[in-house]
Amino acid sequence: MVAGPLPAPSGPGKDRLRLWIRLLRASRTIEAELRERLKKEFNTTLPRFDVMAALYRAPEGMLMSDLSRFLLVSNGNVTGIVDRLVSEGLVARARRNGDRRTSMVRLTEEGSKTFGIIAAAHEGWIGELLGKVSEDDARRLTGMLTSFRSNWEGRE
Amino acid sequence: MVAGPLPAPSGPGKDRLRLWIRLLRASRTIEAELRERLKKEFNTTLPRFDVMAALYRAPEGMLMSDLSRFLLVSNGNVTGIVDRLVSEGLVARARRNGDRRTSMVRLTEEGSKTFGIIAAAHEGWIGELLGKVSEDDARRLTGMLTSFRSNWEGRE
DNA sequence: ATATGAAACTTTAAGCTTGAAATAATTTCC
DNA sequence: GGAAATTATTTCAAGCTTAAAGTTTCATAT
């Protein structure tokens, strides 16, 4: 996937292949940097940050399946991450009256406070890491990515 | 990370944050699809494909540390993936005369043949998945991503 | 009411991933 | 030549990830 330098591919369709490779390398590079900083500065992980970010914007809480869908990861995966966040006191599961299969997951007060702090740092990091991209290019790129993602969403 | 819908962020620097979120969602979506197809069609994984792709373009072989650097993953990680590829007969380690700490890793003949087949399918999938991106946009996007990545490479 | 099926979630096994510690070989520097 | 630092790699523990199988609960249709 993360192919790169040496013999530049050429021929029909190669431009898209090259785009994909760049896209993947870019996101992996940034992801690695964020992961490292989250660990060093806040002793947390990217998956936990992702879950907290999702919950932060849903004060009423989210179902496990909502989280799974939103974060694009499997539901078994979310179970483990939420388990750890619960044991850290940052997240709580609340049984529901109506449907006993489900539980509403939400940030605790401490979780919310903690996330606020981390999120501020995170936004600063992104600004720094993408600093060389002009606001204009950022908007243009975002537009392209959005349209190309829309071919995908809710496909199967 | 993979934040999305609800309250659209606004303010200074928010365009870059949004760009990052889209970038991440796009690459995760495509990655997930590739992973699934690699599993279903060829009973292999993305990391193994990555390693084989790197080796395919280096017929003389690569050191473990070369692989690690090139693929942007830790060296301990590469050890495990190469181990599995070796046990599948797709990759071979060759001790070197000069430096006995290192070994040259390369595709076996079977590995090379196998990779050729998978790579052809892979290229087709990318063409399909990014089909809606015009060749022109693909080149433009690639250019932007390249320049923005170059702020990063060899940073520390 | 009760089977049948669907839905929400957890568990499990296998594999991927990292950072840190451990090994081993090489190089550097007195 | 030998200690000390460096380099290449593996090992390890903890955590992330998936797909598949299992559990519990709910909804539907007899």
Check residue B10 and give its pLDDT: 64
Contact assignment for A145 to B2 by CB distance below 8 Å: no
Cβ within 8 Å of residue B28, ≥6 positions away: A72, B2
Check residue B145 and give its pLDDT: 81
Best of B62, B70, B132, B133 to disrupt the A interface by mutation (most A CBs within 10 Å)?
Answer: B133
- The interface residues of chain A toward chain B in range 95-154, judged by CB-CB distance below 8 A, are 123-124, 126-127, 129-133, 135, 137-142, 144-149, 151-153
Tell me the HSE value of B70 on the side-chain side, using a 13 A CA sphere. Answer: 22
Measure, in angstroms, how far nucleotide C30 C1' is from residue B102 CA: 28
Q: Which long-range contacts (CB under 8 A, 24 or more apart) does B55-58 make?
A: B55/B91, B55/B105, B55/B106, B55/B107, B55/B111, B55/B115, B56/B107, B56/B112, B56/B115, B56/B116, B56/B119, B57/A3, B57/A6, B57/A7, B58/A6, B58/B106
Q: Which two tokens stand for residue A58?
A: 């849903």
Chain segment A104-143, per-residue pLDDT in tens = 999 999 999 999 999 999 999 999 888 877 788 888 888 8
Chain segment B70-127, per-residue pLDDT in tens = 999 999 999 999 999 999 999 999 988 789 999 999 999 999 999 999 999 999 999 9
Q: What is the CA radius of gyration of chain A?
A: 19
Q: Which of residues 48-77 of B touch strand D (CB under 7 A)?
A: 63-66, 75-76
Contact assignment for B19 to A141 by CB distance below 8 Å: yes
Check residue A146 and give its pLDDT: 77
Which chain B residues touch A28 with a CB distance below 8 Å?
27, 72
Residue ranges in chain A whose pLDDT is less than 70: 1-12, 147-156
Residue found by looking up tokens 């050729």 in the block: B116
Contact assignment for B148 to A26 by CB distance below 8 Å: yes
Contact assignment for B147 to A132 by CB distance below 8 Å: yes
Question: Is A79 touching B (CB cutoff 8 A)?
Answer: no
Residue A93 pairs in a beta bridge with A105
Chain segment B4-14, per-residue pLDDT in tens = 444 555 666 78
Q: Which two tokens stand for residue B143?
A: 């250019």
- CB of A124 closer than 8 Å to CB of B11: no
Domains within chain B, CATH numbers bracketed: 36-131 (1.10.10.10)
- For every residue of chain B, which 3-state class applies, written as one string? CCCCCCCCCCCCCHHHHHHHHHHHHHHHHHHHHHHHHHHHHHCCCHHHHHHHHHHHCCCCCECHHHHHHHHCCCHHHHHHHHHHHHHCCCEEEEECCCCCCCEEEEECHHHHHHHHHHHHHHHHHHHHHCCCCCHHHHHHHHHHHHHHHHCCCCCC
Chain D positions with any atom < 7 A from a protein CB: 7-13, 15-21, 24-27
Cβ within 8 Å of residue A112, ≥6 positions away: A56
Check residue A110 and give its pLDDT: 96
Question: Is B19 touching A (CB cutoff 8 A)?
Answer: yes
Which chain B residues touch A134 with a CB distance below 8 Å?
none
Residue B36 has pLDDT above 60, yes or no: yes
